[in-house]
Chains A and B, each alone.
Chain A
Amino acid sequence: MLPARKPAGLDASLKQSFGKGVFRKCDGCGETLTAERLAATFEVCEHCGRHHKLSTRRWLELLLDEGSFHAWDADLVPTDPLGFEDGKRYPDRISAAQKKSGWKDAICTGHGTMFDRPVAFGVFIFEFLGGSMGSVVGEKITRMFERAIAERLPVILLSASGGARMQEGILSLMQMAKTVSARERLRDARLPFISVSLNPTTGGVAASFALLGDVNIAEPGALIGFAGQRVIEATIRQTLPEGFQRAEFLKDHGMIDRIVPRTEMKREFERICALLHCPTV
């Protein structure tokens, strides 16, 4: 932050309350940006290109034609199959996450159009328990693949998840098998699956469908990997190299086809679908 921009004559606390909600500092370059400007660029810093978190509603706004989205299975809610309690009961965690995020679980799926091309579309909701995949997420992804097959739609799925949901234990692990099985049926149906890894895509989501796209796309700088960085550091007793498990690292190692800035994604997805011979409306 440049000292010259400090409003004169205000003390620190006043300054904070004055700037709150109006100004934001870029997580990448530290540049101060107006919240309004960041919103206009879909949370991408104009100076360094850093991609900040984007809300689910804004993702729908960015990628789908206006008013085209119709949610599928929006009323599926989680249960507490293990009776899990880690200081707080799992049902209480769910309620808190639902209140905080405004969603019933960690994914939004449905039907929409991209430049008039119908697609099955899904996006993880990271603010909901870290986008973790439990039974509801697994079921909704599975149903999305199944409906895409029935309606002959390409699937575009944006992942942002820490992995399997611990509070549903082994049943969360089973969602990996279930979703991948459905993904394979889409493959047999010769329909495209564009898998998009947002920041972060790790653990059980990375190790199931996320890297099994016909085309794998990542957002710039997204953290993508199997094991958490703390776990790896504890195992090998070394600090990790700069850029480890970032989108660029994965592309260098052959796991990702393309790194695409958020604002170019819609064009990109539409083009890939067209090249893979998906019918338009």
Chain B
Amino acid sequence: MAFVLPFEKPIADLIGRVRELRAVAVLRGPEGLDDDGDDPIEAELKALEGRAKDLAKEIFADLTPWQKVQLSRHPARPYTLDYVSRLITDFTELAGDRRFAEDESLIAGLGRFEGRPVAVLGHQKGRGAKDNVRRNFGMPHPEGYRKALRIYELADRFRLPILTFIDTPGAYPGIGAEERGQSEAIGACLAAMARAGVPIIATIIGEGGSGGALALGVANEVFVLEYGTYSVITPEGCASILWKDGSKADRAAAQMRMTADELFGLGVVDGVVEEPAGGAHHDVDATADAIRATLRGSLDRLSSLTPHALADHRYARFRRLGTFVDSAV
């Protein structure tokens, strides 16, 4: 793993040592075995790997909200297509909004989840500079949201459950985005999701940045990965508004209650999907398996509902979010 966060360093160092030792063991060949035919280095390697896992668990048990935000944006973190390739068979990507352009920061398609036909939508970040230009760092323009809108309507018509994967810093703020109606595009997505007569299940796999995330989030059930976040504004944006200082993002992150456990406590998400020791990027397959189990359970719960009941279920879910007091009572 090329990119290492400061608090990941002790874990990365241990994993690095295991890797070096393993390379030595391979070079050394069978003459290194002891009298019983066991490999003493292999035993030590196993112990070291165990220690790396324990260390990861120990360090990760105590992460600050800001460190979790950093994990949610980790450059090595799996993105939507990493999960789609593991969870969806017959994936058939669909492109374009039929209005203006194709937006590759939001991917859409059809496929099968455990044999069942579904529609899939997700923000897609890029790996490396070149890929990130193509993916616009996972920040859709209105065209991305109008492609999503197309998929919501298509899925509704063909009675396909919709699986969404949320991972965006936010909708793109730019001149063209405003000219082509970023606000309306997001609003229209919220409306289409509210109306759909099919199960919608959203999973926040990384960053859930504001309205740009919510445009994939008006679901019957919403899940978040253990180190995913969901917020009304980025901590940097919050800090720069409140304290005119974007560098106080760590303080803002703590105030905003945007981590998985806190989102669950607030009722904003219906469940937290546990990540492997050290985070999703340490074991993508295991993370995908955990998501699969969650989606399966959710689909099983929702599949028996009629189209009308599904829309009502979604209405009731969002209807109860928010806190206030009636001072007249």
| A and B bind | yes
- Report which A residues bind B (CB closer than 8 A): 73-79, 81-82, 84-87, 104, 134-136, 138-139, 142, 164, 166, 168-178, 180-181, 183-185, 187, 203-204, 206-212, 224-228, 231-232, 235-236, 238, 240-241, 244-245, 249, 253-255
Q: Assess the A75–B214 pair: CB atoms within 8 A.
A: no
Q: Which of A138, A170, A241 contacts B266 (CB 8 A)?
A: A170
Which chain A positions have C-beta within 8 A of B325? Answer: 76-79
Residue in B172, B314, B321 whose Cβ sees the most chain A Cβ within 10 Å: B321
- Report which B residues bind A (CB closer than 8 A): 171-175, 177-184, 186-188, 190-191, 193-195, 210-211, 214, 217-218, 230-233, 237-238, 241-243, 255-258, 263, 266, 268, 314-315, 318-319, 321-329
**Chain B: which residue is nearest A254 at the CB level?**
B181
Q: Assess the A138–B322 pair: CB atoms within 8 A.
A: yes
Q: Within the assembled complex, what's the spacing in Å between the Cα atoms of A169 and B181?
A: 25
Q: Assess the A181–B318 pair: CB atoms within 8 A.
A: yes
Residue in A74, A75, A76, A227 whose Cβ sees the most chain B Cβ within 10 Å: A227
Q: Within the assembled complex, what's the spacing in Å between the Cα atoms of A81 and B256?
A: 10
**Chain B: which residue is nearest A232 at the CB level?**
B173
A142-B319, A231-B237, A244-B175 in contact; A169/B231 too (CB < 8 A)? yes
Q: Which of B193, B211, B266, B322 contacts A226 (CB 8 A)?
A: B211
Which chain B positions have C-beta within 8 A of A142? Answer: 319
In addition to A168-B232, A204-B210, 5 A-B residue pairs with Cβ atoms within 8 Å of each other are: A76-B324, A78-B324, A82-B257, A139-B322, A209-B187
Q: Assess the A207–B183 pair: CB atoms within 8 A.
A: yes
Q: Assess the B183–A210 pair: CB atoms within 8 A.
A: yes
Which chain A positions have C-beta within 8 A of B183? Answer: 206-207, 210-211, 224-226, 255
**Chain B: which residue is nearest A225 at the CB level?**
B178
Residue in B173, B184, B232, B318 whose Cβ sees the most chain A Cβ within 10 Å: B232
Q: Assess the B181–A136 pair: CB atoms within 8 A.
A: no
Which chain A positions have C-beta within 8 A of B263? Answer: 170
Which chain A positions have C-beta within 8 A of B322? Answer: 134-136, 138-139, 168, 171, 174-175, 178
Which chain B positions have C-beta within 8 A of A203? Answer: 211
